[in-house]
Structures are given as structure tokens and as C-alpha cells.
Amino acid sequence: MSTVALPANYANASVAIVLALIGVLTAWQLSTPLAFAVRLGLLGALAAPLLATLPGLLRRSVYTARWASLLSVGYIGIALTEAVVSTDERLLTSAMAGLSFAMFGALVLGIRRARPV
């Protein structure tokens, strides 16, 4: 029985983008004027799904890439909404939107080019 794996360059790009997205999320939450406990809770809720994708992406799992591409759509929506609503953090939320689009693109292209190993 053969398994299907993501091409290494797409998997590596996806891992790098996910790590960058976690960094931008952290910077965004640290710059918001909320109480520390609220910021920490929001950061945990936003970063946990991204952290859950890392083991599967490192294994180059197509299954993980499929559900992570669906997950990236939610991050695109959050980033675009925050970019419109909150003018103080527009740079960080625009970076988050760009990284979310890049994550979606890298995952979808990797899925399309996946081959049996």
C-alpha cells in the first residue's frame, strides 16, 4: 500500500509560514489593549490549531494539509475583519492576512502536486 506525501518544498514552506503566523499572532495579541489574561486566552485559542498542524506538516501528511487549508480560511477572515475594524493594528493584521493567504496557497498547491511515495 502506497502513501501520498506532500512535496518537501511545499511542506517546508507551509511549516515556515505557520511559524511566522504564530509569531505575528503573538505580536498582535501583545499589542492589544486588553487585560493580560484575555490576551493570553485569545492567543492560546488562535495559536493552538496552528500548533496542531505542525507534526503532520513535518511528516508531509496530505491529510493534515487538507484540513489545515480549511483552517487557513478562518485566519484570513479574522485578519481581514481586524484590519478593517482596528486601525491601530492594521500593519500586524495585514501581515496576518498575507501569511494566511500564503499558507492557503502553499497547502493547496502542495496537495495538488502530492504524489504516492
- 40-93 pLDDT, tens digit each: 898 899 999 999 999 999 999 999 999 999 999 999 999 999 889 988 888 999
**Radius of gyration over alpha carbons of the chain, in Å?**
15
How many residues are there in the chain?
117
Q: What is the value of pTM for the model shown?
A: 0.90
pLDDT value, residue 1: 46
Which residues share a beta bridge with 4? 116
The one-letter amino acid code at 77 reads: G
Percent above pLDDT 70 for the chain: 98
Helices (H) and strands (E) in the chain, counts: 4, 2
Q: Contact 77/23 with Cβ under 8 angstroms?
A: no
Residues contacting residue 46 through CB under 8 Å, at least 6 positions apart: 25, 29, 75, 78
**C-beta separation of 64 from 111 below 8 A:** no
H or E segment to which residue 19 belongs: helix 8-31
